[in-house]
Amino acid sequence: MWFERTRRNHVYVTYALTFLVILPILFRNSPFSLYFVGWSKQRLVEKATDVNELKFREAARYLSGLDKDKSTAFYGSLLQQDAVDLTVAVVTVNRSGGKRSLGYLTQVVAELDKMFKADVHFKKAMFICNTFAGPGQHEEAEDLARYFPVETRFPRGNVEHAIRDIFEKEKRDYVYCLQKALQYPTNHVIMIEDDAVPRRDMLDILKHVLDTRVEKRYKSGELVVRDWAYVKLFHPDRWLGYTRDLLQIIELISIGVVGGSLYLLASLLLFRSHDLSSLRRKYKTFLCGALYCILVAVVIGRQNVHAVQRLSAYFYSVSPAPDCCSPAILFNAETAIEISSHLATTTCNSRLSLDLAMSQFAHAQGFTTLLVQPNVVRHIGLISTLKGVSDVPEQFAFPP
């Protein structure tokens, strides 16, 4: 009786401390957790703006420390290689917050520069693809041309393209940049939009994912070659939470099974001098631990649970790609040629966006399309060229 009462009190204290003290402290500023409350949209937008301004200043300070001549020579030589594993094209248009540049492009290329100079896995090349049609100039891209190669679609501006349907213009810009990247002798192309900052270890992750999950995958214990078209490197966090999807329900059950087993083991060690030998008591202890872990996962949010996978490239997972979205995509160069040709003859609009047009074509051709999770890039586009200020500013105010 004493043992049962002690164990019951231990469970009550554990649950109370976890859900009423520890988790509220740890996750009060974590979007997508149930503890993230009390923030108005205006405050979130203001904080997101401050965060972006800080990151912009840091990136600009880093680039100002580079030798301009050495940087242009370095990236120019990369583009002159006979063959490369990977070509990165950064698609950009002019964005501004009032009269000031938002600095998205600066942040992206600063991280790419750090990543390129640290990477040992790939022969690679990179260029900025300026698709701004006017009016005016894309001053941020022009400033960065002192450090990096820049392909400019409209050197003198183009009024016709400036007033074109924004969805169709986005598609045409994307095709232009993709085809420019394919002009180089490359095996893969990464198309990164100018509001998608790559993680510093992105190339380490892609090396592992390409070798073991994409170009090759484990089947019956052996690595076999797989045909594929593209791998998406980003999916909006707000759509990655727990739903009634069968695979996510199985994921929660798996968390419960593992957590319940560990909880049972801990209880056996903690109360080893008392009787936990009966199957009924073990079963109740296991269920208590399983419920505890499932509740923790639900209240902190699936997005925050999956953040653990960022500890190592080996923990990243690959699954079939959804239709959305296009901030960062890794293409197989061979199928990218077919995709760009198809897009060039397709008209995009509000009902058929770029990402949907690509997805429909890939599925129609039987191409394999994949998504890497967690996200390999961080979306910083609080202000979108298509939709204005984001309806979900919390993901920009508290970046992962």
Span 329-367, pLDDT tens digits:
999 999 999 999 999 999 999 899 999 999 999 999 989
More confident residue, 219 or 11: 11
Residue identified by tokens 């399309």 is 369
Q: How confident is the model at residue 206 (pLDDT cuts 50, 70, 90)?
A: very high
Q: How far apart are CA 81 and CA 123, in angstroms?
A: 9
Domain extent listing, the chain: 2-30+242-300, 41-239+322-397
Q: How far apart are CA 122 and CA 35, in angstroms?
A: 42
Amino acid of residue 368: T
Of 341, 373, 374, the closest CA to residue 358 belongs to 341
Lowest mean pLDDT among 66-70, 169-173, 354-358, 392-396: 392-396
Token pair of 390, please?
Answer: 């984001």
In sequence order, what DSSP letters do the residues of 362-376 get, joined into one string?
HHHTT--EEEEES-S
CB atoms < 10 A from the CB of 121, how many? 14
Q: How confident is the model at residue 4 (pLDDT cuts 50, 70, 90)?
A: low
Q: How far apart are CA 146 and CA 150, in angstroms?
A: 9
Q: How confident is the model at residue 53 (pLDDT cuts 50, 70, 90)?
A: very high
Res 388 pLDDT > 80: no
Tell the CATH topology of 41-239+322-397. Spore Coat Polysaccharide Biosynthesis Protein SpsA; Chain A (3.90.550)
pLDDT digits (tens, 9 = 90+) for 273-294: 455 557 777 788 899 999 999 9
pLDDT digits (tens, 9 = 90+) for 104-121: 999 999 999 999 999 888
Please compute the mean of the pLDDT values over residues 175-188 and round it to a whole number.
95
The mean of the pLDDT values for the chain is: 88
Res 394 pLDDT > 90: no
Q: How confident is the model at residue 39 (pLDDT cuts 50, 70, 90)?
A: confident
Q: How confident is the model at residue 386 (pLDDT cuts 50, 70, 90)?
A: low
Q: How far apart are CA 307 and CA 395, in angstroms?
A: 14
For the ranges 191-195, 209-213, 270-274, the maximum mean pLDDT occurs at 191-195
Residue 221, phi-psi category: left (phi > 0), alpha (psi -120 to 50), beta (remainder): left
SS3 call for 290: helix
More confident residue, 173 or 273: 173
Q: What is the pLDDT of residue 134?
A: 77
DSSP-derived pairing of the beta strands 383-384 and 388-389? antiparallel
Q: What is the pLDDT of residue 276?
A: 54
Q: How far apart are CA 378 and CA 329, in angstroms?
A: 13
More confident residue, 272 or 149: 149
Q: What's 150's DSSP letter? A: E
Q: What is the pLDDT of residue 2?
A: 47
